[in-house]
Amino acid sequence: MSAKLGDRIRIGDTYTENNIFCAPLAGYTDFAFRKLCYSFGAGLCFTEMVSAKGLLYENEATERLLLRFDGEKDTAAQLFGSDPKILRAACESEALKEYRTVDLNMGCPVPKVFKNGEGSALLLNFPLAEKIISECKKSGKNVTVKFRIGLEKGKTFAAEFARLCEGAGADLITVHGRTRDMYYAGEPDYAEIESAKKAVKIPVVANGGIFTREDALRMLDKTGADGVMVARAAMYDPHVFTEILGGGSDWDRADTIRRQIGDMLPVYGEKFTLVQMRKMTVFYIRGMRGCTQYRAKLFACPSLAELENLLKEIFGERV
């Protein structure tokens, strides 16, 4: 029976709220952004990509990526690394005690990650990838794996790698339907995702090119996947989860920005919050009248007080 948008997915001993996930996005999916995505209907969110070595050495900046909001329950922590023992130790660390599910990054295409033998470089070393998954599973966590269909166009192996993940103990896999050399551009390969789905019994989530409800429906129809993962679309419009679930497209952008600022400020302080929210506001006003002229004003905004005044200007409120 084909999955429907809104279906729940079992990951080990837990169930997600629905099958529309928010991808791990470096520099974006902090606790405040995840809180927004959950409020708009995301079934599961992931932390930013976290270095297993950084956790092992108790790096403060790394541990900060794992901050949670009050009441946050089922978020998955995404780890990257290439040493099975270090990754297992990270899974068992105090920093991850509140996380029931760990996601292993085997798809990041960024050169500095790839050159370290991490991310999508693990697709070059099946035995090592298998060892990493099996070691992390020994931690007692639910383990998921996110990977790409291959490294180059014409040389794909999604089904083979999916079987490896399942055999090593993975509870769920997310298949990004692009090769490493495609980065984030181009049509996802539906056939490769479908081949991965047919190769395993564990749940398969499809990732790549999902910006609308129609995109999500097409992905499920073409691949038979159990769910979909939204990435860049969530950065531009965290309300996209409501839309994919069949809700309306209207959302209060000004209120959303203020909610995010309110959550971030007590934790991160004004400097970081300002830098982050100037960037996020540029995303959120895309497509609005005058968004180009406001972009320059936003990036020049010197304080949160001035940002608030600018929000009133942008959204037609009294200053």
What letter would DSSP give residue 47? P
For tokens 């995404």, name the residue.
78
Residue 20 has pLDDT above 90, yes or no: yes
Residues 218 and 76 in one domain: yes
Both tokens of 147, joined, read 């990977």
- pLDDT digit string, tens, across residues 155-196: 999 999 999 999 999 999 999 999 999 888 999 999 999 999
pLDDT at 113: 96
* CA atoms of 57 and 43, how far apart (whole Å): 32
Beta bridge partners of 15: 10
Residue 319 falls inside a structural domain: no
Residue 71: other Cβ atoms inside 10 A: 7
Name the E strands within the chain: 10-11, 14-15, 20-22, 44-45, 50-51, 76-80, 101-106, 142-148, 150-152, 155-156, 172-176, 204-207, 227-230
Q: How far is CA 187 from the centre of its chain?
A: 19
Residues 83 and 38 in one domain: yes
Number of domains observed in the structure of the chain: 2
- Comparing CA positions, the residue from 172, 202, 214 lying closest to residue 74 is 172
pLDDT on residue 250:
86
221 with 308, same domain: the answer is: no
Per-residue pLDDT tens digits for 44-55: 999 999 999 999
5 close to 246: Cβ distance less than 8 angstroms: yes
232 plus 144 within the same structural domain: yes
| Residue 296 burial class via C-beta count within 10 angstroms: exposed 0-12, middle 13-18, buried 19 and up | exposed
Please, are residues 169 and 101 in contact by the beta-carbon 8 Å criterion?
no
Q: Which of 46-50, 61-65, 209-213 has the lowest mean pLDDT?
A: 61-65
Question: At which of 212, 244, 276 does a domain end?
Answer: 244
Q: Is 205 a domain residue?
A: yes
Locate 31 and state its tokens: 């606790």
User: Quick check: is 37 catalytic?
Assistant: no
pLDDT of res. 315: 92
Integer CA distances (angstroms), 291 to 277, 283, 284, 286, in order: 15, 10, 10, 6
Identify the domain boundary among 196, 211, 244. 244
pLDDT at 1: 65
Name the catalytic one among 22, 91, 108, 165.
108
How would residue 6 be classed by pLDDT, with cut points 50, 70 and 90? Answer: very high
CATH number at residue 261: 1.10.1200
Q: Considering the chain, what percentage of its residues have pLDDT values greater than 70?
A: 99
Whole domain around residue 110: which residue ranges? 10-244
95-131, pLDDT tens digit by residue?
999 999 999 999 999 999 999 999 999 999 999 999 9
Residue 4 falls inside a structural domain: no
